[in-house]
């Protein structure tokens, strides 16, 4: 077994010992790091420094640094403003936790949400009649 696989198994075993609240905190931190990673790579893809991205978005360079380190909770408005200034849009998906199915999607402009529509109508439940 590789060291990497062993490390993942050890981590999974440790996480299994945590209570639900602690696991939720780890999941939230992981999601924040994923967003920070996306923001960092979106900026690099445009060939911009943090200072240049800050000038385009009207944010301070220090704010860009915090966003890229997951050192702050980003709001949707800030995400739209920042990525919009870099020439991107934000696409949101709402997924069912159990099935993983997308139940709604929407895209945004730098100004705000432009479209949110269900991707599939939820199944209706047949009621038994007597």
The pLDDT tens digits for 59-75 are 999 999 999 999 888 99
* Domains: count for the chain: 2
Same domain, 82 and 93: no
Same-domain pairing of 15 and 64: yes
| Domain span including residue 77 | 3-87
Q: How do residues 72-91 score in pLDDT, each as one tens digit?
A: 889 989 999 999 999 999 98
| pTM, 2 dp | 0.69
Residues 118 and 59 in one domain: no
Where residue 31 sits, what CATH number does that domain have?
1.10.260.40
The CA-atom distances, in angstroms, between 91 and each of 34, 106, 114 are 15, 6, 10
Please tell me whether residues 97 and 82 are part of one structural domain.
no
């Amino acid at each position: 077994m590789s060291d990497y696989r062993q490390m993942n198994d050890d981590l999974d075993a440790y996480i299994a010992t945590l209570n639900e609240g602690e696991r939720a905190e780890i999941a939230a931190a992981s999601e924040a790091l994923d967003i920070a990673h996306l923001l960092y790579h979106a900026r690099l893809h445009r060939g911009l420094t943090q200072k240049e991205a800050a000038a385009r978005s009207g944010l301070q360079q220090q704010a860009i640094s915090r966003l890229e380190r997951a050192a702050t909770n980003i709001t949707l408005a800030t995400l739209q403003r920042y990525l919009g200034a870099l020439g991107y849009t934000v696409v949101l998906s709402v997924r069912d936790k159990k099935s993983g199915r997308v139940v709604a999607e929407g895209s945004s402009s730098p100004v705000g949400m432009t479209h949110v529509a269900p991707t599939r109508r939820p199944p209706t439940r047949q009621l038994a009649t007597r």
